[in-house]
Amino acid sequence: MKSLAVGDLRVDAIVEDPCWPMSFERMLPDITTEMLTRERAWLEPRFASIDGKASTAGSMAFLAFHSYLVRTPRHIILVDTCIGNDKDRGGFEGFHMRRTPFLWNLAQAGITPEQVDYVMCTHMHADHIGWNTRLVDGRWVPTFPNAKYVFGRVEYEHRRRNYESNPAAKMGGFADSVLPVVATGQAVMVDSDFALDDTAILEPAPGHTPGNVIIHLRSRGDGAVVSGDVMHHPIQVVYPECSPVFCEDRVESARYRQKFVQRFADRPELILPAHFSDPTAGRIVTRGARCAFEFV
């Protein structure tokens, strides 16, 4: 994604993994071969590989993992910190014991970890909190030593209860990516409508997780929305009724996503999803009876 201007804000994607293939059958069980074939012209080759068979098992969706670096006149904000390095994720393919150049990519954007003022997470799935911490001399320490980490209170309490009921669970990341930040006093628990200088404004986005939020970025009349995991793949803009297996409440997720697509269709706000492949950012537009994602 090229650098984007939102009023006085500059937004860059800091990429951890540019292409992560996953079968549509595994990720979006409600998507059919007919749907994929209908959208094939724009899906291939950048966003998917379609095999056209009755089962969607052989058709691959291409995801990406990236954070958003937001530079305001006053602050440097990092939104959603991807998967992280050296994390024990129980052998889960793609997440377990990774070694990626995420911090080097951040440096290429001109920012050191010490310069980040705020870390904000749309939710606390492991692929959105991983770089909250890094391994130093056998200990998990905050990657961004001078930052305040803004955690939604509803999301945090949900994860805390899950962790306390099963502290041995390795997939969630709560122990290695959240608790060390709380221990240093850098965590700031906020309500789901928290606003940072009227520049970064949280709004509840239920369904994917109990405390999931979107983040509005606003400056001088311009706007963008960091949508997190409201949508994982651009085909969900066309078929918002289809929820991925990752959603903790797939019915509520579909309900909210349909409202989101209708709300932002044909509006000027940029949409900044968490997992759309490059060029990543775009706008929702009406096309016939349904909507589509128009990349910028």
For residue 170, the model assigns a pLDDT of: 77
* pTM for this entry: 0.97
Per residue in 192-246, pLDDT (tens digit) is 999 999 999 999 999 999 999 999 999 999 999 999 999 999 999 999 999 999 9
Residue 22 has pLDDT above 90, yes or no: yes
Residue 293 has pLDDT above 90, yes or no: yes
Q: Across residues 109-119, what is the average pLDDT?
A: 98
168 confidence band (pLDDT: 50, 70, 90): confident
Higher-pLDDT residue of 296 and 54 is 296
Domains of the chain with CATH codes = 4-295 (3.60.15.10)
54 confidence band (pLDDT: 50, 70, 90): confident
Residue 260 has pLDDT above 90, yes or no: yes
For residue 171, the model assigns a pLDDT of: 80
Q: What is the 3-state secondary structure (H, E, C) of the chain?
A: CCCEEECCEEEEEEEEEEEEEEEHHHHCCCCCHHHHHHCHHHHCCCCEECCCCCCCCCCEEEEEEEEEEEECCCCEEEECCCCCCCCCCCCCCCCCCCCCCHHHHHHHCCCCHHHCCEEECCCCCHHHCHHHEEEECCEEEECCCCCEEEEEHHHHHHHHHHHHHCCCCCCCCHHHHCHHHHHCCCEEEECCCCEECCCEEEEECCCCCCCCEEEEEEECCEEEEEEECCCCCCHHHHCCCCCCCCCCCHHHHHHHHHHHHHHHCCCCCEEEECCCCCCCCEEEEEECCEEEEEEC
